[in-house]
Homo-oligomer: A and B are copies of this chain.
Amino acid sequence: MSKLIFCYGAMNSGKSMQLLTWKYNYEEAGYKVFLYKPAMDTRGSFKDGENKGVIASRAGLEASCTLVYEDETFSKYLDKINDPKTIIMLDEAQFLTEKQVKELYQISLKYTVVCFGLKTDFRQCFFEGSKALFELADDIRELKTVCACGKKATINARINENGEILLDGEQIEIGGNERYKSMCKHCFEREKNKKM
């Protein structure tokens, strides 16, 4: 039976890579896979001054995807489909609106929907999309990555150019390793207290 799956993980936990692996496996099993990404995310996507819609893993693979804007619904893409061997996959799903996640929940009564995304922002608060996904997903899985100390990293710390932890700022600031660092809570709280 179809499911709504949310695979969450800190930055650099290999979410895009896992997504591209699953896509590959589903296609080999004869499925048609639809890939989406909120347009808000621009990493790896910008070419010639334009957000082209690409899901790219840092380790090297990539695939084209459809960009979804905040005010869009998925129905315009999926209404015409009537094939049980259909899978919907999304990357950077933390940037979905609550309304979009509710639509994906409805779609998941018919087709399996697999969302990949962050759990929380740099202050350990939910993004709008991840909150709704944790509420509505019937299957929640963690992708793990490692803190510099060797323990599992669960926190997306925002850092400045000197690698110092930042506690203020906008919730969303698109960036990679120059801007964020995956840490375990023990190292994160130690660093935070040093600063204060």
By a beta-carbon cutoff of 8 Å, the part of chain A in contact with chain B is 1, 4, 12-14, 17-18, 20-22, 24-26, 28-31, 57-61, 84-85, 105, 108-109, 112, 119-120, 124-126, 131, 134-136, 138, 140, 142, 145-148, 150-152, 154, 177, 184-186, 189
Q: Cβ of B125 and Cβ of A186 under 8 Å apart?
A: no
Which residue in B20, B154, B186 is a CB contact (below 8 Å) of A109? Answer: B186
Given contact pairs A14-B18, A24-B58, a sample of 14 additional A-B residue pairs in the complex whose CB atoms are under 8 Å apart: A12-B28, A13-B25, A14-B22, A14-B24, A20-B59, A29-B146, A109-B185, A120-B135, A124-B135, A124-B136, A125-B135, A126-B131, A134-B134, A138-B184
Q: Cβ of A146 and Cβ of B20 under 8 Å apart?
A: no
Q: How many angstroms between the C-alpha atoms of A92 and B12 in the bound complex?
A: 25
For residue A163, give the distance in angstroms from its CB to the closest CB of chain B.
13
Counting chain B CB atoms within 10 Å of each CB, which of A148, A151, A185 scores highest? A185
Which residue in B18, B60, B136, B142 is a CB contact (below 8 Å) of A140? Answer: B142
A60 (CB) vs chain B CBs: closest residue: B61
Which residue in B26, B58, B126, B186 is a CB contact (below 8 Å) of A135? Answer: B126
Q: Cβ of B1 and Cβ of A151 under 8 Å apart?
A: yes
Q: How many angstroms between the C-alpha atoms of A17 and B16 in the bound complex?
A: 12
Q: Cβ of A186 and Cβ of B1 under 8 Å apart?
A: yes
Q: Cβ of A21 and Cβ of B14 under 8 Å apart?
A: yes
Q: How many angstroms between the C-alpha atoms of A177 and B28 in the bound complex?
A: 9
Q: How many angstroms between the C-alpha atoms of A142 and B5 in the bound complex?
A: 14
What are the 4 A-B residue pairs with the smallest beta carbon separation, nearest first?
Answer: A14-B21, A138-B154, A24-B59, A17-B21
Q: Cβ of B14 and Cβ of A25 under 8 Å apart?
A: yes
Which residue in B4, B59, B134 is a CB contact (below 8 Å) of A61? Answer: B59
Q: How many angstroms between the C-alpha atoms of A105 and B146 in the bound complex?
A: 20
